Amino acid sequence: MMMAGLAAPFFLLCAFCHVATAITDGLLPNGNFEQGPNSTELNGTVIRSRRAIPQWEVSGFVEYIPSGHKQGDMLLVVPEGSYAVRLGNDAFIRQSLLLTPSLRYSLTFCAARTCAQSEHLNISLTPYSGLVPIQTTYSSSGWDSYAWAFLAQQSPVDLVIHNPGLEDDPACGPLIDAVAIRELYPPRPTNKNLLKNPGFEEGPFFLPNSSYGIIIPPNIEDDHSPLPAWKIVSLKAVKYIDAAHFAVAEGRRAVELVAGRESAIAQTVRTVVGRKYALTFAVGDAGDGCVGSMAVEAFAARETVKIPYESKGNGGHKRAVLKFSAVGERTNVVFQSSFYHMRSDGALCGPVVDDVLLVSVRSVPASASARRWLW
């Protein structure tokens, strides 16, 4: 009887414990918020209890939004499942995760702005944090998937997604859905290619129902990039795409430059001053209905090349080469879109870069196709 008497209060106490969850690649536990609050924990759509959503803690004005919910003239659609959360002024959601220290991880999450003019999300995992801008909508649905990466330095660690905005109407905050994670495996250069992750095969987790790619935010350095070895050196984002939903030149992944000259990627490589190099790559379209006269500019050392591509929007690519002589022990390789493009449904789009190869011209190319590009 004494043991039973102790068990009840112990159980009640643990019901409020902040328990860390061991994670695997994919959705976080209840990462799509399909397990929701009891009706007694809701005031309309507003969550009344900080532990109302299983696996999550909430703080501030947080709403539990069903798909099809109307806000004025706006119909809110949920991309993954039937429910999402909305973060009002200074509100956040939090989940504790068991990670492996010293390993790199990338988060993928869906977000949509509502009626605020300028929206950002503050993503933090101790000791890192960063603002992800979401005011630019890249898809036609209003929802975009975003990626954010970090190096785990401890375990457990709290993932916090926070809306730092302050609006007159707290219901103007962003919607969040489908939070996933993936361990990243930093690639290395080989004797066949001086670039790391040259085909963009290593990157964030793709949600199974995501048909609009993943937005890699602007001004991302390579140390904490969700696209390992690559930096986003532009004012706007680039889109990471997969072969399941888009046309790619090689392998399973590629990058679409969706914001014109404000969309650029770069990688820094070791070079020998005075030595000649050849940079070869594929330029094409994603097969996503992006039509028009496209062009990709490539830069390395003091050389540049502009590769035109006439897109019919149904997939395809062409090969290109840039030859240069190194002027330093490190050389930045940069790819940038020349023009702005938009699909007929209003989604931003652009040319695709894939299958990048950098070799010294003294080296033997990796394949017969590479020899055709270089010589």
Any idea what the CATH number is for the domain that residue 283 is in?
A: 2.60.120.260
Cβ proximity of 355 and 283 under 8 Å:
no
| Same domain for 170 and 25 | yes
Helix (H) or strand (E) holding 276: strand 276-285
Distance between CA atoms of residues 204 and 107, nearest Å: 7
What band does 368 get if pLDDT is binned at 50, 70 and 90? very low
DSSP code at position 261:
G
Q: Distance (Å, rounded) from C-alpha 142 to C-alpha 140? A: 6
- In a domain? residue 326: yes
Pick the last residue of a domain from 146, 165, 184.
184
- Residue 272 belongs to some domain of the structure: yes
Structure token pair of residue 366 = 């990796």
191 falls within a domain: no
> Alpha-carbon distance 213 to 239, whole Å?
6
Residue (of 283, 347, 294) closest to 316 by Cα position: 283
Token pair of 77, please?
Answer: 């659609």
Q: Are residues 281 and 343 in the same domain?
A: yes
> pLDDT, tens digit, for every residue of 134-172?
988 898 888 999 999 999 999 999 999 999 988 888 778
**Residues 250 and 130 both lie in one domain:** no
- Whether 2 is covered by a domain: the verdict is no
The count of domains in the chain is 2
Look at residue 94 in the predicted model and tell me its pLDDT: 98
| Pair 44, 98 in one domain | yes
In terms of domains, do 179 and 252 share one?
no
- Let me know whether 117 and 219 are in one domain: no
Instruction: Return the closest-CA partner of residue 180 out of 241, 123, 110, 228.
Output: 110
Return the residue matching tokens 């989604």: 347
C-alpha distances out from residue 286 to 74, 161, 193, 243, 310, Å: 30, 31, 25, 9, 12
> Could you give the CA distance from residue 37 to residue 52 in angstroms, rounded to a whole number?
5
The secondary element (H helix, E strand) that includes residue 3 is helix 2-14
Here the tokens at position 207 are: 């949600």
Residues counted in the chain = 375
pLDDT of residue 369: 45
8 Å CB contact between 352 and 254: yes
- The string of pLDDT tens digits covering residues 102-133 is 999 999 999 998 876 678 899 999 888 999 99
Same domain, 229 and 279: yes
Question: How much is the pLDDT for 118?
Answer: 72
Verify that 178 and 225 share a domain, yes or no.
no
pLDDT digits (tens, 9 = 90+) for 235-278: 899 999 999 999 999 999 999 999 999 999 999 999 999 999 99
CA 15 vs. chain centroid, Å, equals 34
Do 239 and 319 lie in one domain? The reply is yes
**DSSP assignment string, 313-332:** SS-EEEEEEEEEE--SSEEE
Give bridge partners of residue 304 from the DSSP assignment. Answer: 299
253 and 321 share a domain? Answer: yes
Identify whether residues 224 and 266 lie together within a single domain: yes
**Looking at the domain assignment, is residue 277 inside a domain?**
yes
- Mean pLDDT, all residues of the chain: 88
Give the whole-angstrom CA distance, residue 178 versus residue 340.
29
Give a yes or no: residue 11 inside a domain: no
Residues 270 and 158 both lie in one domain: no
At 219 the pLDDT is 85
Q: Is residue 230 assigned to a domain?
A: yes
44-97, pLDDT tens digit by residue?
A: 999 999 999 999 999 999 999 998 887 766 777 888 789 999 999 999 999 999
Check whether the bond before 228 is cis (ω within 30° of 0): no
Q: Return the structure tokens found at 125.
A: 């995992």
Angle at Cα 249 formed by Cα 353 and Cα 349, nearest 5°?
A: 45
* pLDDT tens, position by position, 70-81: 776 677 788 878
* Helix, strand, coil percent values for the chain (each to nearest 5): 10, 45, 50
DSSP code of 31?
T
Average pLDDT rounded to a whole number, residues 31-36? 96
What is the distance between the alpha carbons of residues 23 and 108, in angstroms, rounded to a whole number? Answer: 14
pTM (whole model) above 0.85: yes
Q: Is residue 92 in some structural domain? A: yes
Range(s) of the domain holding residue 294: 214-374
Both tokens of 333, joined, read 């390789």
For residue 177, pLDDT over 70 is answered with yes
